[in-house]
Structure 1
């Protein structure tokens, strides 16, 4: 791989030559067999697509990417966005081109995708316990193209030691601090210190930082939720200070990393005092926000720091489009999009606009609600006295949780702007985003 690039421009641009066909449900049947490049050259519009459909908003994506890049630069922190949100090398490129340190992934398969597209700096926000994954990382990671991973138990240290026994490979790892009731991570500072000592004693491991994930400890931005997050982050800071005092870091450059898309402001507030550019090891603070580039009309709209502060909030960069396929009871419409098409785990889709055609004029759909979703259908209730809904009508849906939206689509059209309530024109497809889940 070319380590002078943050990601291989040749590999990403090569997606333009991919052929589109029946495997890509967002692509019209009339364009079966065309290439990505030819599809865009034809300047297709929203009206030429079909439902069910997921689309992205080009302006929102750019604005969101710019917003967090600027914020990180202002606060002197690194960004390694969690690539599992989109699994799209094209969107990773947008983040890396704006100064992101690298890309964070969640498992071995995702690491392989990222390295195939030439992502130089990688972080696995997880522990390596599969021998195949351990051996692969040991083989492909280099000082110029590092792969960081996390360790949260003595058992993981033992697995890596046994797998690499007799090898001169050394893996760069961070000790992960967890919390009782949380997800992964050593349960407490004392347990994390014991693990760090075992890492320091291993011939195949080098301790380069502290990691954690505060998002599993709270799901709200109320006082109780924020107190839990901040208390946990304070423990991460304490762990770092004890590691420094005991001299357990094995590198002159140390990373402290936390921060999803919900509480990254608290991460910086609590942990930025750890940043060190003077004597001793260099210490960088890294956040891993991933959903921010897409944002949403649900969970992240309510919990994002920028939404809570009211200071230039992120913009919803994705929408669902569904058509009414059945309207046989007053006040109930069945739509042609369901669990296989749209996210539902962090809130059901939100009906926003209605129109008679895809790409045509739309108006607000007030009082409508998605009450449940099946595999291929959504149940939408509405006030039959004030709203008229007919078979064939198109509903634009606000969505919640981009992480479980992208995995349902291999190709996602990007539109030149969001359809708003006053628009009477169509929208051009300006890009196609490929995903690799």
Structure 2
């Protein structure tokens, strides 16, 4: 089956198999070589087909962002994809807490870790898991945030107090966690230094509560934009306030790396700074050329409902002719950077190009668009198509709610 099969229609989201397998192998080898745990954030794709490939390359488990995603990933166990799961968020709904207790007791999932940043959240877990058959299958991470940021306690003193509250509640404390993203939106020297400072705070918090943790204290961070700084800083030897060594383990939660992109993550690119092979953009949104109404202006049938625009607008990559049967021809020989998307409507993209380029483009042609920020492109589709060239290797259902 090909991407121009008569049963399909544009716009279409494809995932290049060679690129995604390269990205998965590259990052898995890097983290394995560094001796750390890896729990890729599957909110990026919510695809059992993609996570199956990530798990085969070596993972501690899967990370999710919401209780709904947690339920979905636990359900993947029924189709042969069992995983430990880290809910990188607070669990504050009694319905979700009761469901999780029952899922752990029934063995639907072997282990789940959740965040806590409040006495109320800990009290909910205490009440719910007081009746658990296997309370040890739940792990609690105290989340460390930043002033003006999102969730997470704001000081090491608060970390210590909440960690003590977790253990007093009879819950299993495993360590500390957080997300470095609110500290820096770019990769300037000052921003990378700010991320390093946040990592130092996380290390200090881990050292302070290590004696309360069940086993080696866990330090967990995420993101695909500053993985180099996080990896370097969190794997430094850890010592308690008295200078004694503290056994620790690191679990990272990078997610967007799996598809990379043509914009935000290409610019951030911590992987090249780490000295590994560059990651490859894996996603293409294919959209039909609807109109070439004037020289230098192309209108394509893909918009905000079809491609991410929360960070950057899509990037025109190629244009291909279509024959009378709807089959794609070879890519046009166009100069690099031949066009620029200037705006999106719900389902239209405005592409500005040199008039000499638009003279060679016809309504009915198909344009390939690169994207920036894979998370908000995957979520726009129910199915993506894993491809080798134009051949579809696998249909990838995407379980977004």
What TM-score, normalized by structure 2, do the two folds share?
0.89
Which residue is 1:220 aligned to?
186
Q: Give me the whole-angstrom Cα distance separating, in 2, the residues matched to 1:45 and 1:160.
A: 48
Aligned to 1:104: 63
Distance in 1 (CA, whole Å) between partners of 2:338 and 2:289 is 17
1:192 corresponds to which residue? Answer: 159
Structure 2 counterpart SS, 1:429: strand
Question: Deviation digits for residues 220-256 of structure 1, max 9, x if unmatched?
Answer: 1101211111100000000111112xx221x124321
Partner of residue 260, structure 1: 223
Classify the secondary structure of the residue corresponding to 2:271: helix
Distance in 1 between residues matched to 2:261 and 2:314, nearest whole Å: 10
**CA distance in 2: counterparts of 1:139 and 1:274, whole angstroms:** 38
Change in Cα spacing, 1:319 to 1:386, as seen in structure 2 (3 Å) is: closer
Partner of residue 138 from structure 1, selected from 90, 101, 108: 101
Aligned-pair CA distance for 1:280? 8.8
1:387–1:435 CA distance, 2 compared to 1 (3 A): same
| Structure 1 unaligned blocks of 5 or more | 1-42, 418-426
Q: Is the 8 A contact 2:298 2:358 kept in 1?
A: no
Please show how residues 344-363 of structure 1 align to structure 2 within 5 Å.
Answer: 344-357=309-322, 359-362=328-331, 363=333
Alignment of 1:4-43 (within 5 A): 43=1
CA contact (8 A) 1:46 1:429 kept: no
Distance 1:394 1:308 in 2: 36
Which residue in 2 is equivalent to 1:297? Answer: 262
How many equivalent residue pairs? Answer: 380
Distance 1:259 1:274, change over 3 A: farther
Query: Shift in Å at residue 364 of structure 1?
Result: 2.7
Q: 1:248 to 1:309 in 2, by over 3 A?
A: closer
Residue matched to 2:344: 373
Is the aligned partner of 1:88 residue 2:68? no
Structure 1 counterpart of 2:364, from 392, 403, 409:
392
Aligned to 2:141: 174
1:310 deviates by: 6.4
Say if 2:354 is the partner of 1:383.
yes
Change (3 A) 1:217 1:396: same
Query: In the alignment, is the contact (CA less than 8 A) between 2:219 and 2:249 conserved in 1?
Result: yes
Cα distance change on mapping 1:166 and 1:87 into 2, 3 Å:
closer
Distance 1:45 1:328, change over 3 A: closer
Matched, 1:312 2:277: yes
CA shift digits 1:171-222 (9 cap, x unpaired): 320011011122211112111111111112113x221111111022211110
1:340 alignment partner in structure 2: 305
1:305–1:326 Cα change, 3 Å: same
Contact 1:252 / 1:281 at 8 angstroms: preserved in 2?
A: no
Match of 2:375 among 398, 403, 414: 403
Given that 1:373 and 1:379 are in contact with CA atoms closer than 8 Å, whether structure 2 keeps it comes out as yes
Given the superposition, is the C-alpha separation of residues 354 and 92 from structure 1 closer, same or farther in structure 2, using an over 3 Å criterion? same
TM-score normalised by the chain length of structure 1: 0.82
Report the counterpart of residue 28 of structure 1 in structure 2.
Answer: none
Question: Relative to 1, partners in 2 of residues 1:268 and 1:52: Cα closer, same or farther, differing over 3 Å?
Answer: same
State the distance in 1 between where 2:189 and 2:395 align. Answer: 41
Is 1:44 aligned to 2:2, yes or no? yes
1: CA distance between counterparts of 2:263 and 2:156? 35
Q: Provide the residue aligned with 1:364 in structure 2.
A: 334
**Alignment root-mean-square deviation, CA:** 2.2
